Structure 1
Amino acid sequence: MKMKNKILVAIVAIVLVVILAGAGYYVLADNNDDDSKETITVGYCNKVCYESFMIAEENGYFNGLDVNIEAKIIPGGGTDVSSALLKGEVDLAAMGDTPAVQNLNTTDKTSIVCRYGYSESMHVFVARPNSGIDVDDLSTVEGKTIGVQQGSSTEGALLDWMNVNHIDTNKVTWKYLKPNVQVEALSKGDVDMIASSQPNPQKALHLEGTYVVGTSEGLGNYYPLILLGSNSVISEKADAVNAVVDALKKASDFMKDNHEKAAEIAANKIGWAVDDELYCMQQITWEVGFTQEIDVKSLEKTAQVLRDNGQDISKDLNFVERSIMKP
């Protein structure tokens, strides 16, 4: 009887060892599967114009996929995200039209993945009280100090607006400021006017006596929000790139169907009022694509504005050829 019990115990022990070994194998296999997934890093800013990425991350659209999507928040604006892409710090980078044009002009190693949003009125120019700028006589902008981020989409829009309104760009003082210090500079009187995309204009308008001098609306440009990627990543990690685009499409659909919830998510991430975020989000059409009318013509116009204002932008720059999503 004792011998039978010993044999039974031995059999049970062997069975447990086999089961545990099998379980360990599957755990290791799962971990190895995770490690073997392609990883792609997406860079964007924690501010208005980048809500698609915030929503995609918050709602888990970047998770549970056959690829690992790592979201990396870049301080500053689109020019900083563009710089991160050029330095190889991110694989994909979100930015406005001007940084995108300048990036594509700087290197032949990046391409357009898609556009994820657009708005004619994206850029707003706000003056401090007693600035001396008369909205009915825009020549009064001359002689004033303007705060704007150098190389930004807003700078391109501002240059175009000044040209259209016959304001001599050589007769203003340019003060190049990062987005996070523009409103403070306006409140202190360090500048007479700031030119920026949201949320800065909305924040500035909460200051007593400030007022809108102009916007980018009506200049014939949709100011597309562009996702660029390195050509090597686009070629070698096509599935991962497609997964990011699909996630942005889901985020766009969510924002269209859930305005207030989307604004709440973005406002919490940005750190400002939900009402202000909702207003700003509603100024932008959140849509993934790339078309001749919205994107190609707008990018060509931006490139020409930059040329007209002394920037060395190649006339051979072909935005259709440089896009993986054909119009």
Structure 2
Amino acid sequence: MSVELAQLNKLDTTKLPESSVAFVKNASGKTLARETIIKYTPSLAYAVVQELDSTILGKDILVEKKPEDDLQLKLITIEKVKENRRLLPIAQQFHTVPDGRHAECHMTDVLSTHSLGTYNLDLKKNVTIDSFELTDSWRDDAGFIVTDRNIYIQGTYDVAKLLPTLLPSSQKVTPYAKTDFDLVSDFDATVCGFSRDAYLTLLLSSSSTILLAKSSGSIDGIIVGNGSDRINLIYAETIEIAHALLKSYVEKTKVKQVILFTVQGVWECEPTKKRAVHRRHTRAVPSLIKWAKIYALNMGVHIV
């Protein structure tokens, strides 16, 4: 589930002004499920399921919205038999959703409406989600019907095998300082195609090791990690810069392995372990992201 993916990174994105959070709670007020959606353009958002209780995992449930807060869903009942929608008229099958659905489907539905609006005549409203597991529910009930063009993995790389595959570079790499924030923000916007200063502030203040590749008056690359083997992101103008950043990170942290989310094939070195990550969208593959600059991305936290 995307729950497992989200738990790999402890960044609390609920603090972001562009985020909204939905809950499913039982009659006693206990939280059974929690999902956050991050709106990054007027019509685009990224969803992350962060909690899902075993009592409702993989089960169709009926919920009701609280009148005072449509993001607070109350569990009514757990369905024992899945509705057979093939008996419904064709139009109803394709243009309505069942009352009983998985918790994550209910939450994605209310979050999408809350963040991106009810009316979407141009069909531009688009939500993205990542998950280690690919289930029919995401496609059939939650509407994540579009497969991404990239193939994503979580890769674990042995540093001893990785370093010889990195290209040589004369690029100077320096530690991040708070005075670099505006330049980092400008560079980040060239990578993802939109501004996200609140997210960057949270990420950079929560990360142990941040290194930059600088040129005259601008940033050409950045690597962010937890000071150990988990790397959150690597963005760079060229592959040589990306390799210089990773080499500097390894030398600084003295780790024996690194773990990161990446597009398959970006790194020449084969990972010692890899796990597929499935990315799905409700409408289309977002076109504003510059994938040529992305060597590791922060899946389970943000779109890149």
TM-score, normalised with respect to structure 1: 0.25
Larger relative helix fraction: 1
TM-score, normalised with respect to structure 2: 0.27
Q: Which structure exhibits the higher relative contact order, with contacts defined as CA atoms closer than 8 Å and separated by 6 or more residues? A: 1
Larger relative strand fraction: 2
